[in-house]
């Protein structure tokens, strides 16, 4: 009884990588600095790991370590964690979410996939549908794509904006700058209210994407994942890279940083994403709620009662 009364850190598994900060820090987009996506971030990077098997047991233990922290996040019911994934097609968003969250209690976690907006979504401002899907305190919310599409796909295909019901005088050359500021302010507001935000860009190379598309065509069980439009969209690759780079340079902030994660080796992507989430949760100094002395006495009474009952 008494040892449960106050929380003891020894029940937490550590992440199985000693210098976790050294592994994850190269992927942070430093707020306030301009980065070059092509020069500063290599999609094929895999640190000192030579092959998948070397990282696998670390990932498994890392997932277990994450699960413990999620349990505390949920019990403490104070912070919400929002994790945003953005990427080109076939970069591995779905499988990263599936693997990294595999140890997580579904009760405290929700995944939202944002597709082309439709119906009611189009009748609102562009942050509306995302704000409705935000995680509650104690929860982890995962956005598979997000409001960032509004400065990515819409920037690459500006005709999308014209098809929306936005007042035409609001579509001018400053719209992207305004949207960066709107998103930064929105995220600032959320973090000032207890939502922690992590943003991951899974950085796959154009060649690796081509291989994965071909695999989706060749393997019948992967056919459903491919649409001809994916191959068409690929021809806009350079435009997307510009849009992403601009996005990093304007929206990686102290309060909601972007991480550019190498994504040509899926196992490495998963290890790094798990490591960053773990480091973030650890930094929150989470605790199981401590019960008051009065409540503690009540528990002792209930214990006595149960022990004397048949």
User: What is the contact surface with Mg ion in residues (CB under 5 A)?
Assistant: 89
User: Could you tell me the smallest distance in angstroms from the CB atom of residue 117 to ligand ATP?
Assistant: 5
Q: What are phi and psi of 175, to 5 degrees?
A: -60, -40
Q: What's the full length of the chain, in residues? A: 310
Which structure tokens are listed for 181? 């500021």
Q: In 3D, which of 198, 177, 226 has the Cα closest to residue 27? A: 198
Contacting residues for 248 by C-beta, under 8 A, at least 6 apart: 29, 35, 37, 201, 258, 260
Measured CA to CA, the distance from residue 202 to residue 143 in angstroms comes to 13
Please choose which of ligand ATP, Mg ion, none residue 154 contacts, taking the beta carbon within 5 to 8 angstroms, the exact cut-off set by kind. ligand ATP
User: Could you tell me the smallest distance in angstroms from the CB atom of residue 123 to ligand ATP?
Assistant: 14
Measured CA to CA, the distance from residue 154 to residue 243 in angstroms comes to 10
Work out whether 154 is an interface residue with ligand ATP (CB under 6 A). yes
User: Could you tell me the smallest distance in angstroms from the CB atom of residue 219 to ligand ATP?
Assistant: 14
Please choose which of Mg ion, ligand ATP, none residue 225 contacts, taking the beta carbon within 5 to 8 angstroms, the exact cut-off set by kind. ligand ATP
Counting DSSP H helices and E strands in the chain, the numbers are: 14, 5
Query: Cα dist. 238→38, 161, 205, 224, 229 in Å?
Result: 11, 20, 12, 26, 17
x/- string (CB under 6 A) for ligand ATP, residues 60-99? Answer: -----------------------------xx--xx-----
Which residue do the tokens 């650890």 mark?
282
Please choose which of Mg ion, ligand ATP, none residue 54 contacts, taking the beta carbon within 5 to 8 angstroms, the exact cut-off set by kind. none
Work out whether 42 is an interface residue with ligand ATP (CB under 6 A). no
Query: Binding residue for ligand ATP (CB under 6 A) from 58, 79, 135, 149?
Result: 149
Query: Binding residue for ligand ATP (CB under 6 A) from 139, 150, 208, 264?
Result: 150
Find the radius of gyration of the CA atoms of the chain: 22
Task: Say how many residues touch ligand ATP, by CB under 6 A.
Answer: 16
Query: Binding residue for ligand ATP (CB under 6 A) from 153, 175, 279, 284?
Result: 153
User: Could you tell me the smallest distance in angstroms from the CB atom of residue 157 to ligand ATP?
Assistant: 8
Work out whether 116 is an interface residue with ligand ATP (CB under 6 A). yes
Measured CA to CA, the distance from residue 253 to residue 258 in angstroms comes to 8
Q: Which residues pair with 260 in a beta bridge?
A: 201
Q: Give residue number: closest CB to ligand ATP.
A: 149
Please choose which of ligand ATP, Mg ion, none residue 219 contacts, taking the beta carbon within 5 to 8 angstroms, the exact cut-off set by kind. none
Query: Binding residue for ligand ATP (CB under 6 A) from 52, 68, 112, 225?
Result: 225
């Amino acid at each position: 009884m008494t040892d449960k009364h106050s929380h003891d850190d020894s029940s937490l598994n550590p992440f199985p990588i000693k210098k976790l900060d050294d592994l994850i820090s190269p992927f942070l987009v430093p707020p306030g600095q301009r980065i070059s996506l092509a020069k500063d971030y290599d999609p094929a990077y895999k640190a000192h790991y030579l092959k998948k098997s070397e990282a696998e047991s670390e990932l498994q233990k890392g997932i277990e370590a994450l699960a413990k922290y999620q349990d505390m996040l949920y019990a403490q019911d104070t912070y919400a964690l929002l994790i945003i994934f953005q990427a080109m097609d076939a970069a591995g968003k779905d499988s990263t979410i599936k693997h990294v969250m595999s140890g997580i209690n579904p009760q405290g976690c929700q995944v939202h996939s944002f597709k082309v907006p439709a119906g009611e979504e189009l009748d609102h401002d562009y942050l509306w549908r995302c704000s409705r899907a935000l995680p509650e305190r104690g929860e982890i919310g995962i956005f598979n794509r997000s409001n960032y599409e509004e400065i990515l796909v819409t920037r690459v295909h500006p005709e999308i904006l014209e098809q929306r019901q936005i007042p035409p005088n609001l579509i001018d050359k400053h719209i992207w700058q305004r949207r960066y500021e709107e998103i930064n302010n929105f995220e600032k507001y959320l973090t000032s209210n207890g939502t922690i935000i992590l943003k991951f860009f899974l950085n796959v190379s154009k060649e690796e994407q081509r291989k994965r598309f071909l695999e989706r065509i060749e393997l019948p069980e992967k056919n459903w994942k491919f649409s001809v439009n994916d191959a068409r969209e690929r021809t806009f690759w350079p435009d997307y890279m510009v849009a992403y780079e601009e996005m990093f340079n304007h929206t990686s902030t102290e309060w909601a940083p972007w991480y550019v994660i190498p994504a040509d080796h899926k196992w490495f992507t998963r290890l790094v994403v798990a490591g960053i989430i773990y480091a973030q949760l650890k930094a929150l100094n989470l605790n199981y709620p401590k019960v008051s002395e009065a409540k503690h006495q009540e528990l002792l009474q209930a214990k006595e009662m149960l022990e004397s009952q048949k």
